[in-house]
Amino acid sequence: MKLGVVIFPGSNCDKDMIHVLSNVMKHEVVELWHKDHDLQNVDGIFLPGGFSFGDYLRSGAIARYSPIMKEVIAFANKGGFVFGVCNGFQILCESGLLPGALLHNTNQKFICKNIYIKSSGNNSAVNNAIDNGKALKIPIAHGEGKYYADKNVLDEMKQNNQILFHYCDENSNVTEEANPNGSLENIAGVCNKNKNVFGMMPHPERASEGILKNTDGKLIFDSIFNYLEKSIENK
Amino acid sequence: MKYKAEIDVMPLKALLDPQGKAVTASMHNIGYKSVQNVRIGKHITMEIEADSDAEAQNKVEEACKKILSNPVMESYEFDIEKLAF
């Protein structure tokens, strides 16, 4: 399988993502520069974390208009798998591929720590290998991660099972105390209506190897490759 | 013709503005007890070429919608003036 990791000026989790996809998950990875127009026939696209264009204007607002995003949007609209982490999630929201937006954390601080998330168990491309009750320990590192969508959008997302991860405590309780950034209803990750575009603020690529003493994030990559392998078989 | 646009982008009224809230609290601490509801947004100025007032208006409106603000979280207002040569 061939995967693409998009690199914007200011991306800084691109190498971690490439490392996990190629060395941990053992798949071919190509780097896609933000000025490229060719997606090189990849089977899935990953938008890494970082501070694209210095987070100027709004996080993701400038990257969303990088040349390659035209191709990424076309790929997504044809049903292609797109996954954004942190700044990647912000870019996908800015581009309109995902609903909602990421606001400044309620406490106005950049938060860098391990938190827990829980899968909402709807068997999507990013959570099919995860036991629903399990709290996954995954790090976050962001200043603008407070998920927000207006009530109508949120209701629609709930109806379509588009909310995939909630912040929780280590016993899987979704509580206000376990919400690190003030996200609406503890939302940590969402998908689009067609369930082929995904975004989450926590960094699974920083928690996918034994040497890091945390492999909870690998369950997300396992889910992704279960999904991609099936979708390639069905082609 | 050259125009100058002055644009204000503000967090939507329905949203908590944590920056404004922190500044409100700080202002209370230094004695501005009567101050309430500080909200902080962005002020953007730009120059733009257009053949008419209406065209300048449309271009700025489009830019506000497309990139300068995000309607999910922000609102915008702007004024345009023709620059003299």
Superfamily of domain B2-82, CATH level 4: Phosphoribosylformylglycinamidine synthase subunit PurS (3.30.1280.10)
Distance from CA of A107 to the nearest CA of B (A): 7
- Over residues B8-29, the mean pLDDT reads 94
Query: Is A92 within 8 Å of chain B by CB?
Result: no
Pick from B19, B22, B73: which is nearest to A148 by CB?
B73
A184 and B CB contact within 8 Å: no
Is pLDDT above 70 for B66? Answer: yes
Q: pTM of the prediction?
A: 0.95
Q: State residue A4 phi and psi, 5-degree precision.
A: -115, 135
Q: Does A24 touch chain B (CB under 8 A)?
A: no
Residues 34-73 of B with CB under 8 A from A: 67-68, 70, 72-73
Fold topology of A2-233: Rossmann fold (3.40.50)
Give the pair of three-digit tokens for residue A156.
């629609």
CB contact under 8 A, A106 and B22: no
Contacts of B14 in chain A (CB under 8 A): 150
- Report the distance separating Cα A148 and Cα A143, nearest Å: 14
Measured between beta carbons, which residues in chain A are less than 8 angstroms from residue B16?
Answer: 106, 182
For residue A151, what is the enclosing H or E element? helix A151-159
Model pLDDT for residues A43-57, shown as the tens digit of each residue = 999 999 999 999 999
pLDDT tens track for A86-132 = 999 999 999 999 999 999 999 999 999 999 999 997 789 999 999 98
In this prediction, residues B21-32 reach a mean pLDDT of 96
Per-domain residue ranges for chain A?
Answer: 2-233
The domain limits of chain B are 2-82
Task: Please list the residues that pair with A7 across neighbouring strands.
Answer: A33
Parallel, antiparallel or unpaired: strands A44-47 and A81-85: parallel
> A20, A205 in Cβ contact below 8 A?
yes
Note down pLDDT in tens along chain A; length 235 residues: 999 999 999 999 999 999 999 999 999 999 999 999 999 999 999 999 999 999 999 999 999 999 999 999 999 999 999 999 999 999 999 999 999 999 999 999 999 999 999 999 778 999 999 998 899 999 999 999 999 999 999 999 999 999 999 999 999 999 999 999 999 999 999 999 999 999 999 999 999 999 999 999 999 999 999 999 998 888 7
Whether B85 shows a pLDDT value over 70: the answer reads no
DSSP for A100-140, written as a single string: SEEEPPTT---EEEEEEEEE-----TTTTTS-TTPEEEEEE
Q: Side-chain half-sphere of A90: how many Cα atoms within 13 Å?
A: 31
